[in-house]
Amino acid sequence: MKKFINDKLVPMVMKFTNTKIISALKDGMMFVLPFLIVGSLFMLLANIPIPAVANAITKSGWADVFNQIYQSSFSLMAIFAVVGIAYTYIKNEKVDSPFSGSLAALGAFIMLLPSEIKPKGGELITNVISKNWTAGQGMICAIIVGLLSGFIYSYCVKKDWRIKLPAGVPPAVANSFMALIPTAAVLVVAGAICAIFKFVAQTSFAEIIYSAIQTPLQGITDSLGGVVIMTIVMSLLWWCGVHGGAICGAILTPILQSNMSDNQSILDAGKKLTVANGGHIFTQQFWDNYLCMTGAGIVMGLVIYMTFFSKSSALKELGKLSLVPNIFNINEPVIFGVPIVMNLYLLVPFVVFPTCVGIISYLLMQWGILPLFSGVMVPWTTPPIISGFLIGGWRTALWQFVIIILSMIVYWPFIKKYDQFLLNQQSAVK
């Protein structure tokens, strides 16, 4: 089994992970994360869940300032995504002036958005950019445009389709002219796509992508089956020694962030955030603070046993070293130190437990026992219970505490058996 995994499965997964598209998507989406966290924190400040404090902030006028910061970060996530993905793609191709290419991608993205809105009961407003399309609603369009623009720009530069000026010309001027043809190629292709959808489909490219791709994808992932499949895949990849979070995150992050953005839109519209009102369960917070709480596999119970109850010296010392990082959701020392990788003793709890947590959490949110997540995010290193309280209130924090207790119960018999195995080896050496 280990030979099959090492010789067949792992190389195949690594090959997929290192493809140009997945690398650009995975690393490019990281450009979005700081803005989401900052925007979420200011939205939390504008809507502190303590009525007296919230009213005081609103009356003072600071709520408007905090909301403006939130709108200028969280509501522009698709713009940050298209720039980050195009920049990363061009940079990975080792092409000069990736920033110019990312700006070309931004221009192409804006070109392909709807350029008019019609408020309910109002007249058509033209030449505008709606924040609905620069937020989660335009995320899949941003991904496609970012990848396509990165490819076109890199292709033109590699073919040396550039205007070269004499050596005496200042570098800033020379670089702008060298980027002229690749930038024009990106914008011309985007213009052709815009024209096709305008005259043939009587709509915009972004609207078609949203209805034909993004909406179905959000529906598929935001389901109990989607939670189960992605949790199992992530856990199995980690068990095989592959970074399951990076691989699954590259695929899921745009969708989960779009789900989160839709949830916040429901609240912004003055509606109650419920499943009945179109709220999504499977969001970025669900992934970070339930499925990956204390790291992949939800291994806090394992670390607690190793630190305080282990009999083998190797596990006990590793537990002491891993406890603090694990509190901050870092569990690589455990995965590769115990190791959990290729360890048949720990395969069952490592895969089954987070899957069960995902199922139970999903059902509790669907039934209204746990709240759905709004647009509030916290850094993924925020310790559990604290993170739960900040993003979902006391019910979410309490559920995280229960998960930790369950983690101890589930991992206990498996790690105890492995501990005895290591202790026997330790005694044999002596």
CB neighbourhood size of 122 (10 A): 8
Q: Phi and psi (nearest 5°) for 298? A: 50, 65
C-alpha–C-alpha distance, residues 67 and 45, integer Å: 9
**pLDDT at residue 426 greater than cutoff 90:** no
Q: Hunting for tokens 């695929």 — which residue is that?
A: 251
Q: Phi and psi (nearest 5°) for 141? A: -60, -40
Nearest to 93, CA basis, from 182, 10, 198, 221: 182
Do the Cβ atoms of 139 and 214 come closer than 8 Å?
A: yes
Handedness of CA 203, 209, 212, 214 (dihedral sign): negative
Beta strands in 202-249 (DSSP E): none
Q: Average the pLDDT over 309-315 and give the result.
A: 88
What is the pTM for the complete model shown?
0.77
C-alpha–C-alpha distance, residues 113 and 47, integer Å: 31
Helices (H), 47-200: 51-60, 62-71, 77-92, 98-111, 131-134, 139-158, 171-178, 180-199
Lowest mean pLDDT among 115-124, 177-186, 222-231, 305-314: 115-124
Sequence letter at residue 353: F
Q: Average the pLDDT over 9-38 and give the result.
A: 79
Q: How many residues does the chain have?
A: 430
Q: 177-186 pLDDT, tens per residue?
A: 778 889 999 9
Q: What angle do CA 35, 96, 99 make, to 5 degrees?
A: 25
Whole-angstrom CA distances from 237 to 13, 130, 145, 204 are: 9, 39, 29, 39
End-to-end alpha carbon distance in the chain: 31
Does residue 270 sit in helix, strand or coil? coil
Q: Which residues of 221-255 are buried (b: 16+ CB within 10 A; e: fewer)?
A: bbeeebbebbbbebbbbbbbbbbbbebbbbbbbbb
**Model pLDDT, residue 86:** 94
**pLDDT at residue 428 greater than cutoff 80:** no
Q: 352-373 pLDDT, tens per residue?
A: 999 999 999 999 999 999 999 9
Average pLDDT, the chain: 85
Do the Cβ atoms of 257 and 237 come closer than 8 Å?
A: no
Q: Hunting for tokens 């003072």 — which residue is that?
A: 60
**Model pLDDT, residue 154:** 93
121: pLDDT confidence band, cut at 50, 70 and 90?
Answer: low
Element (H, E) at 215: helix 215-221
**pLDDT at residue 273 greater than cutoff 70:** yes
Q: Average the pLDDT over 88-103 and give the result.
A: 89
As a dihedral over the C-alpha atoms of residue 362, residue 220, residue 29, residue 365, rounded to 10 degrees, the angle is -20
**Tokens (6 digits) for 249:** 């995150």
C-alpha–C-alpha distance, residues 82 and 200, integer Å: 25
Nearest to 86, CA basis, from 133, 27, 35: 27
Q: Phi and psi (nearest 5°) for 339? A: -90, 160
Q: Pick the residue with more confidence: 130 or 148?
A: 148
**pLDDT at residue 49 greater than cutoff 70:** no
CA 128 to chain centre: 28
Q: Average the pLDDT over 215-223 and give the result.
A: 80
**Model pLDDT, residue 148:** 95
**Tokens (6 digits) for 301:** 């119970």
C-alpha–C-alpha distance, residues 265 and 37, integer Å: 17
**Model pLDDT, residue 149:** 95
**pLDDT at residue 384 greater than cutoff 80:** yes
Q: Average the pLDDT over 45-52 and give the result.
A: 74
C-alpha–C-alpha distance, residues 313 and 335, integer Å: 17
Q: Pick the residue with more confidence: 6 or 199?
A: 199
**Model pLDDT, residue 388:** 92
**Model pLDDT, residue 193:** 93
289: pLDDT confidence band, cut at 50, 70 and 90?
Answer: very high
Nearest to 347, CA basis, from 195, 187, 240: 240
Q: Hunting for tokens 């204390």 — which residue is that?
A: 294
**pLDDT at residue 176 greater than cutoff 80:** no
Do the Cβ atoms of 421 and 345 come closer than 8 Å?
A: yes
Nearest to 248, CA basis, from 261, 231, 260: 231
